[in-house]
Amino acid sequence: MKFTFVSRPSVAVGLATMVLLFVCTHCPAQFTPSTGPGSTNLIPQAQLIQPEELVHLLQATGTGKPLLLQVGSHLLFDEAHITGSVYAGAGSQPTGLQQLQSTVASFSKKKFIVLYCGCCPWDRCPNLGPAFKQMRDMGFSNVKVLYLANNLGADWVAKGYPVERSH
């Protein structure tokens, strides 16, 4: 029996290609932005606010400041959160959405509210889409969502924007 080792690299490349194709076609959520009911891609562009714009709003004097609601992990909130923000429950969980509903129940439906999470890259965040939808379903008409492309650490904390820590 004669073995040829010349073909082994091409076999390895072929096998690696097949594995990659299998993974890409059978687990697309890991490689493409989500478009399901919890997707940030369903939040209209007009409802997004950039970090720089929010910083300017928070520095302004007067009554035009928004209510800031963090709708991600409570651990993330404890680690660092935007100064003045309130933890309102994880938007990806039914109990978190109930907490969000309770948090905003006493506010006017026209109240300026900014939701943010910052747990992970924007297109993978499981919390913002459901939280935004919950606010709209409740009739809130002045809700913006903070666009953090990477996460809170990279897009807010590392830029020196104001944060508080719970511990």
For residue 64, the SS3 value is coil
Q: Which pLDDT score is estimated for 118?
A: 93
Q: In this structure, what token pair is assigned to residue 7?
A: 């073909």
Q: Which pLDDT score is estimated for 84?
A: 94
Q: Which pLDDT score is estimated for 97?
A: 97
Entry pTM = 0.77
Q: Which of 77, 71, 84 is nearest to 135 (CA)?
A: 71
Q: Which pLDDT score is estimated for 64?
A: 79
The radius of gyration of the chain from alpha carbons, rounded to an integer in Å, stands at 21
Q: Does domain 40-164 have CATH number 3.40.250.10?
A: yes
Strand partners for 163: 82
Q: Which pLDDT score is estimated for 3?
A: 42
Q: Which pLDDT score is estimated for 36?
A: 52
Q: Which pLDDT score is estimated for 40?
A: 84
CB 148 within 8 A of CB 155: yes
Q: List the domain boundaries for the chain.
A: 40-164
| Residues of the chain scoring pLDDT < 50 | 1-35
In angstroms, the CA 112 to CA 68 distance is 9
Q: Which of 82, 140, 60 is nearest to 108 (CA)?
A: 140
